[in-house]
Amino acid sequence: MTDVAIIGAGPGGYVAAIKCAQLGKRVTLIDRENVGGVCLHHGCIPTKALIHAADIFHDAGKAKDFGVTFSNVAVDFAKTQEWKSAIIKKLESGVRTLLKAGKVEIIQGEASFASSKSVIVKTPSGESALDFDKCIIATGSSERMLPGVAVDGEAVMTSTHAVELKSVPKSLLVIGGGYIGIELSQMFAKFGTQITIVEALPRILSLLDPEFSAVVEKELKAMGAAIYVNSKVLKSEKRGSGVATSIQLADGSTKEISTEKAILSIGRVPHTESLHLEKTKVQVDKGFIVVNTQLQTADPSIFALGDVIGGAMLAHKATAEAKVAAEVIAGKNSSFGNLVPYAIFSDPEIAGVGLTEEEAKKKGLSYTVKKFRSASEGKAQILGDSNAFFKAILGPNKEFLGLHICGDRASDMIGEAVLALEMGASAEDLALIIHPHPTLVESYGELADVILGKPTHSL
């Protein structure tokens, strides 16, 4: 018997375990793999580590512009992978230390429901029943498959396989122009891979404001990438020592493309199929578990969070939801809001929070749009960031409804925008903040001045 059984040890599950333990609960954490989940082992951390290495290699080629010359710059990708794996190992060890400190029991196995108060846990040594008072489902998601695409993990891969490659491919076809596909495309392009992207929708990064996706598309093409939009992959399979991919183009004609490798990246689907949810009162909609604002399912004993409940499939959303679920289980009055920032580690980076212009328009809101080309600022000039700009969506009283950033380190800069929206700040409030100079974040002050009609460093 345990107070709280948690299925899934990703950024939602392990944080829920730590928080429940801190609130005095006996916790059992169950996962069929290692603690940390997809984010730590196959997603967020490995991809960003490899992107960082790619940036350094790519920037070395541009260093001569400011008088720094390198000779014999080369990539030992196997060594890069060793470095990446060491980071993952260190972070996993840290998570295990935190769980141990909270006296969380960790079981490596697969859990499925026997009832609304019990799960069956399968481990290499057999099966056992575990009764609980409350349960949190945090099983995450997996890559969506596509008919006709023969994923074998070597020639035709998913993103999980791609981050484990031991050498840089000469050519790569990426199926899907969402954020995962674009991040991987630019990362490999910087290492010297010839990239081809096939996207079924009219543009890559289709969930973004078109102004932002257009900048990333321009950079991809400058790297030599071929991009096919409004195009469908009919078949992709290993052929000889490479991959043959047949696509239907926007005009209806077909084309076969030969590459060394291919990556399928068309989104993710929730992990619910093996949970035996039919033995509980939990309701599912299109594979996603239905919850209320307190992360509680239709079964009072069972909570769910992260990718498995839909919405933005982001690690930081799952982590925030985990804290709410733990507090509710402990008897506190807590609920989850909808303000979730996003960050895309493309080149340039894109980050944002709140409404886009299109979303504000669809909601019928009274709004205005203000932009500031932060590429003109001192730090952006030093970094050579010619693409940087801010776009703010404002309400009638110049309050922020949404704020989106394109440019170097946008992922690090978005925090101030999140705070502004969370606190209901206006442009007047933002203008009162003194930002250090020269920094990228000082662009917030100039943006506020632009909104108020009194810009200092722009016309």
213-229 confidence digits (pLDDT tens): 999 999 999 999 999 99
Q: Measure the CA–CA gap between 79 and 438, rounded to whole angstroms.
A: 35
Range in 9-13, 77-81, 223-227, 423-427 the model is least confident about: 423-427
| Predicted local distance difference test score (pLDDT) of residue 456 | 86
Helix (H) or strand (E) holding 214: helix 210-222
CATH number, domain containing residue 303: 3.50.50.60
Query: For 449, phi and psi rounded to 5 degrees?
Result: -65, -40
> In terms of DSSP H, where are the helices of 266-392?
315-329, 357-362, 378-383
- Nearest CA to 443 among 455, 426, 428? 455
Tally of domains in the chain: 3
**Which domain-ending residue is among 228, 245, 266?**
266
| Predicted local distance difference test score (pLDDT) of residue 257 | 98
In a shared domain, residues 317 and 207: no
In a shared domain, residues 33 and 129: yes
pLDDT digits (tens, 9 = 90+) for 361-389: 999 999 999 999 999 999 999 999 999 99
Helix (H) or strand (E) holding 180: helix 179-190
In a shared domain, residues 134 and 279: yes
In a shared domain, residues 185 and 236: yes
In a domain, 337, yes or no: no
In a domain, 194, yes or no: yes
In a shared domain, residues 318 and 373: no
Percent of the chain clearing pLDDT 90 (strictly above): 95
| Predicted local distance difference test score (pLDDT) of residue 396 | 93
For residues 446 and 429, the answer to whether their CB atoms sit within 8 Å is no
pLDDT digits (tens, 9 = 90+) for 327-341: 999 999 999 987 999
Q: Measure the CA–CA gap between 29 and 110, rounded to whole angstroms.
A: 11
In a domain, 110, yes or no: yes
CB-based contacts of 263, cutoff 8 Å, min separation 6: 157, 158, 159, 161, 162, 172, 173, 174, 175, 181, 184
Q: How confident is the model at residue 70 (pLDDT cuts 50, 70, 90)?
A: confident
CATH number, domain containing residue 422: 3.30.390.30
In a shared domain, residues 181 and 127: no
**Is the predicted pLDDT of residue 457 greater than 90, yes or no?**
no
Which residue's structure tokens are 């409004």?
A: 230
In a domain, 339, yes or no: no
In a domain, 459, yes or no: no
In a shared domain, residues 46 and 193: no
Q: How far is CA 358 from CA 22, 85, 339, 390, in A?
A: 42, 40, 17, 16
Q: How far is CA 394 from CA 166, 330, 358, 369, in A?
A: 47, 38, 13, 6
Exactly one of 276, 404, 437, 457 is catalytic; which is it? 437
Q: How confident is the model at residue 162 (pLDDT cuts 50, 70, 90)?
A: very high
In a shared domain, residues 97 and 53: yes
**Is the predicted pLDDT of residue 64 greater than 90, yes or no?**
no
In a shared domain, residues 418 and 279: no
| Predicted local distance difference test score (pLDDT) of residue 245 | 99
In a domain, 7, yes or no: yes
**Which domain-ending residue is among 213, 238, 266?**
266
In a shared domain, residues 74 and 119: yes
DSSP-assigned letter for residue 80: H
| Predicted local distance difference test score (pLDDT) of residue 337 | 86
In a domain, 336, yes or no: no
Cα of 169 vs its chain's centroid, Å: 24
In a shared domain, residues 357 and 283: no
Q: Could you give the 3-state DSSP secondary structure of residue 344?
A: strand
Instruction: Say if residue 234 is exposed, middle or buried (CB neighbours under 10 Å; 0-12, 13-18, 19+).
Output: middle
**What domain range includes position 423?**
348-451
In a domain, 319, yes or no: yes
pLDDT digits (tens, 9 = 90+) for 163-193: 999 999 999 999 999 999 999 999 999 999 9
Longest dimension (CA), the chain: 71
In a shared domain, residues 309 and 373: no
Strand partners, 2: 132
Q: How confident is the model at residue 255 (pLDDT cuts 50, 70, 90)?
A: very high
- Nearest CA to 406 among 221, 265, 210? 210
276 counts as catalytic: no
| Predicted local distance difference test score (pLDDT) of residue 338 | 76
**Is the predicted pLDDT of residue 459 greater than 80, yes or no?**
no
**Which domain-ending residue is among 281, 300, 329?**
329
